[in-house]
Amino acid sequence: MAVERGRPTLIRSVQRALRLIEVVGESEGRATAKEIARVTGLPLATAYHLLRTCTYEGWLQRLDDGTYVLGHRLDTVHRRGRDAAGIAVARPALEWLRDAAGGPVYLARCVDGEIVVVEIVDSPRTPRIDLCVGVHDAAHATALGKCILGQFTTAERDDYLYRHPMHDLTRHTVVDRRRLTLPAPDQVAVDEEEYALGIHCLAAPVVEPGHLAAVGVVVPPATRARS
């Protein structure tokens, strides 16, 4: 942070914009421009200028009656912040799994209808594998993807596979919907070289209220030989 004569350099316009958002949130979620200007002590013209900017950027939303409410960008920030906090709490357990299983660990979630990897826990001894095809386009061929597909309703699964055709990635990849075997919502999914030759993975569902998620681990050859 820049410092001038022992005091931080602050940007007044940013402070004012944040204060406007704060006032809307404190006013039972809705306020007029005049109310916001009065509470913040800003000239009405200045308040209007900042409100237009905040509305354009999605931090606020102007309703048909002229009042302002909190915008969708705040929901996005809140959700991502909550997700990041959850991952930080889970990371020690993911690191333990990496060390115990001897392979990199992947955490995936269904986000806005797409299956995405949200965290990878690896190390120099357990390097991550290259994701040559994103999980969202290879759910049918990965343990993570199959684990989450198994948690979908039939309609959700049909819609997902319609939007993401089952491409042939290796000679072991199942591309026929009638032959695709998915685990029950509480069972482990397996990938036996379906995503990439020489790669074997296991994935288990993660019980997380309001989310569909799975944790997967690449299983080293020595571990497979013992199992």
pLDDT tens-digit readout, 115-139: 988 889 999 999 988 776 778 889 9
pTM above threshold 0.95: no
State phi, psi for 109 to the nearest 5 degrees: -140, 160
Closest CA to 106 of 51, 60, 147: 147
pLDDT above 90 as % of the chain = 52
Residue 47 to residue 217: CA distance in whole angstroms = 53
**Mean pLDDT, to the nearest integer, of 142-161?**
95
Residue (of 181, 87, 165, 98) closest to 133 by Cα position: 165
Tell me the residue type at 141: A
Work out the pLDDT band at 222, boundaries 50, 70, 90: low
Residue 3 confidence (pLDDT)? 47
Return d(Cα 203, Cα 135) in angstroms, integer: 13
* Residue spans of alpha helices (H) in 27-120: 33-40, 44-56, 72-101
Residue 1: what pLDDT? 43
Determine the Cα angle at 38 with ends 35 and 40, to 5°.
105
Per-residue pLDDT tens for 75-101?
766 666 666 667 777 888 899 999 999
* Range with the poorest average pLDDT among 40-44, 71-75, 147-151, 190-194: 71-75
Average pLDDT, the chain: 86
A 10 A CB-CB count for 90 gives: 17
Q: Is 66 exposed, middle or buried (0-12, 13-18, 19+ CB in 10 A)?
A: exposed
Q: What is the pLDDT of residues 168-213, one digit of tens each?
A: 999 999 999 999 999 999 999 999 999 999 999 999 999 877 789 9
